[in-house]
Copies of this chain bind each other. A is one copy, B any other.
Amino acid sequence: MARKPLTNPRKQASQARSRVTVDALVDATARILVRDGYDKASTNRIADMAGVSIGSLYQYYPSKEALVAAVIDRHNRQIMRRVRTVLTEIASLPIERAVRRLVAFAIEAHRIDPRLHRVLAEQIPRVGRLENVEALNREGYALFRDYLESRRDELRVRDLDLAAFVCATSIEALTHSAVLYHTEMLRDAEALIEETTRFISGYLQPTSV
């Protein structure tokens, strides 16, 4: 079951001029994915929108999948940078406040570019970037697990790995679903944040109320 299509860049751009080209290509790929979807995102069209010839495209990326992978990787790097920042910020906060901050962050993050987020979420599996994404997910769990570890004696949960999985997966699903499919909920985002916080911290803490 050998994976044929190479999804890694072909060569590094070394001069400033070509770095512009590469950026334009990745940007154009993202824009077309959002505007037209994966099927309509042909390499010719991407090159066109980037204002670059098809030949140049293939200088840097061996396939359409490689371009999509580049968009995914870039997006994930941005998200993970934010995630790390937030998790550092909450390190010293008590559980409920920490959870509230995390939930608010998750909503913000989904709101940045919901349509790109959605298209990428859909395309990740077929571009073989699942492993990378899973790796980042696991990093996220691990970071949150560390936080839980530091508050262990305030928790009622036993298995911290499991708890981190439960919390992270739920927060992501709830915010994802609310932002993408139930936008009416965001009219009162406070209520959503409040309820989710109660949900999660009620699970973690012995009995808050």
Contact = CB atoms under 8 A, between A and B. Distances in A.
Interface of A: 37-39, 118, 122, 125-126, 130, 134, 159, 162-163, 165-166, 169-170, 172-174, 177, 181-182, 185, 191-192, 195-196, 198-199, 202-203, 207, 209
Given A37-B126, A39-B126, A209-B207, A174 B181 contact: no
A173 B178 CA distance: 13
9 contacts: A37-B126, A122-B126, A134-B181, A159-B195, A166-B174, A166-B195, A173-B173, A202-B202, A203-B203
A209 to B, nearest CB: 7
B182 A174 contact: no
Which secondary structure dominates chain A's binding surface? helix
A156 to B, nearest CB: 8
Contacts of A198: 203
